[in-house]
Amino acid sequence: MKNWIIDQKPNWPLLETLPWVADMRACMQDPVWHAEGDVLTHTKMVLQELVQLPEFQSLNISDKSLLVWAALLHDVAKPHTTKLEEGRIVSPRHAAVGEKVSREMLWDMPFEQREQICALVRLHGLPLWSLDKDNPNRSVVSASLRVRNDLIYILAKADVLGRISTGQTEYLERLEYFKELCIENECFSAPKQFFNAHSQFRFFQTDAPYPAQLFDDTAFEITIMSGLPGSGKDTYAANRNLPVISLDALRKTLKIKPDDRDGQGRVAQEAYQMAKAYAGKKQSFIWNSTNLTKMMRDRVVNTLAVYNPRFRIVYVESSLEKMMERRGASIPHARLRDMLQKLDLPLAEEVHSIEYRRS
């Protein structure tokens, strides 16, 4: 992986020996939108257009590197998602799947760099469709908390120019609408700034078109742990002077095995009863579980929001080697990789504050 890109240039002699690149070469696209043909041809065209853009040339080396990586991987999931639908070639959710594929491929890259690349892969289509969203303002504000919108704009422009399509003119117009929408929301070249963390949390919990300036009247904090097994969640929680609701500990107490699906409901019920007892007393506590998906974390937030706490996520990760060393006896390697593929990295919009830790 370290040699895939050298000096902001793809190392094609090496890349073209890799199975995932061969898959891109074999994956054809709809000729209406991609008359150039297969995904690899398109990817090479995007990279060629990217480095010629004045906006790209004005960036620093770090930002250029992010964009080259993202351009290389932006359609990496098309071989996984492409299918025929009513006689047309489609690739539904290829950006969402591409984020997960990219994260697994780049897992041991420095966290901040990796996650900005993954965000760019996930959001590369946003500029073309932002105005079609139910809440366009929210979509660009949300994006800005992950990666700069001006970088998304540059990648999307290269994506449009790096194809043969009759819709190119319309797409370029949509790019400019996206840019204006970001500027209007003060989040084009920097993250959106909120009045306070509570105002940010409430904005994303509602359908409000613009953030309000709200007084933070929260009185206690719920910390939600998140991370793969063996990442270091238990160690972090044990070193805090707070009550801990551990779903693993409850399983042991209730003698319920991790693969007992029926028993998990009993574990969750017991955990929520404990959480409500703490919350009712305005007692800060830690909810310790893997919480790998947004759906699982949202369940905790939505259930306990009525008590008006501050919500905080602490996401912890480690190298695959370390996680296997710590939990390899109880979790097969294949199972760990399956969990990694399901991971929805916690995002700032989910809670009041978030901390990312690499152990």
Which of 272-276, 332-336, 343-347 shows the lowest mean pLDDT across its residues? Answer: 332-336
Handedness of CA 150, 151, 157, 160 (dihedral sign): negative
Tokens 């009185």 identify what position?
A: 219
Domains of the chain: 5-184 (1.10.3210), 221-358 (3.40.50.300)
Whole-Å CA distances, 42 to 38, 79, 161: 6, 13, 10
Q: Is 141 left (phi over 0), alpha (psi -120 to 50) or beta?
A: alpha
| The residue to which tokens 């469709």 are assigned | 129
How high is the pLDDT of residue 328? 67
Confidence of residue 335 (pLDDT cuts 50, 70, 90): confident
84-88, 259-263, 327-331, range with the lowest pLDDT = 327-331
Q: Map residue 306 onto helix, strand or coil.
A: helix
265-290: pLDDT as tens digits: 899 999 999 999 999 999 999 999 99
pLDDT digits (tens, 9 = 90+) for 25-38: 999 999 999 999 99
Q: Which tens digits make up the pLDDT trace of 58-91?
A: 999 999 999 999 999 999 999 999 999 999 999 9
What is the structure's pLDDT at 261?
76
pLDDT number for residue 327: 78
pLDDT reported for residue 322: 87
Residue range 250-275: mean pLDDT, rounded: 89
Q: Does 330 have pLDDT greater than 80?
A: no
Among residues of the chain, what percentage have pLDDT more than 70? 99
pLDDT band (50, 70, 90) for residue 176: very high
Output the pLDDT for position 260: 78
Compare 259 and 279 and report the one with higher pLDDT.
279
Question: At 1, is the pLDDT very low, low, confident or very high (cuts 50, 70, 90)?
Answer: low
Helix/strand/coil for 225: strand
Distance CA 335, CA 352 (A): 32
Q: Residue 257: its pLDDT value, please?
A: 81
Q: Distance between CA 63 and CA 61 in Å, rounded?
A: 6
β-pair partners for 315: 226, 356
SS3 state of residue 190: coil
Rounded CA-CA distance 81/76 in Å is 10
Please say whether the beta carbons of 151 and 191 come within 8 A.
no
**pLDDT (0 to 100) of residue 156:** 98
pLDDT higher than 90, residue 331: no
Q: What is the pLDDT of residue 324?
A: 82
- Of the listed ranges 21-30, 93-102, 324-333, 345-354, the least confidently predicted one is 324-333
Query: pLDDT exceeding 90 applies to what percent of the chain?
Result: 88
- In whole angstroms, give the CA distance from residue 163 to residue 97: 21
Buried-exposed string 44-58: b where 16+ CB fall within 10 A, e elsewhere = bbbbebbeebeebee
Averaged pLDDT score across all residues of the chain: 95
Whether residue 97 contacts residue 81, with contact meaning beta carbons closer than 8 Å, is answered with yes
pLDDT (mean) for 11-19? 96
